[in-house]
Amino acid sequence: MAKYFKFFEIAYLVIAIVFVVEAILRWNSQPNKAYIFLAFSVLAVFMYFFRKKYRKRFENHERKK
């Protein structure tokens, strides 16, 4: 089960990188969309750290059983 959690953590980082690249590509032509992509990338990084903390808590709970 922890393997799936770790996979989704990494997926959030990949999504953040994709959003940053999209923001850079659209910066000059569509600045409003670039800001939206940057906001989503920040959200994806936040979700990475949130999921990482949740996974570690879940693993510690499983070890105590």
12-60, pLDDT tens digit by residue? Answer: 999 999 999 999 999 999 999 999 999 999 999 999 999 999 888 888 8
Extract long-range pairs of 12-16: CB within 8 Å, 24+ residues apart: 12/44, 12/45, 12/47, 12/48, 12/51, 13/44, 13/45, 13/48, 15/40, 15/41, 15/44, 16/41, 16/42, 16/44, 16/45, 16/48
Domain count within the chain: 1
- Tell me the residue range of the domain where 56 lies: 2-64
pTM (predicted TM-score): 0.84
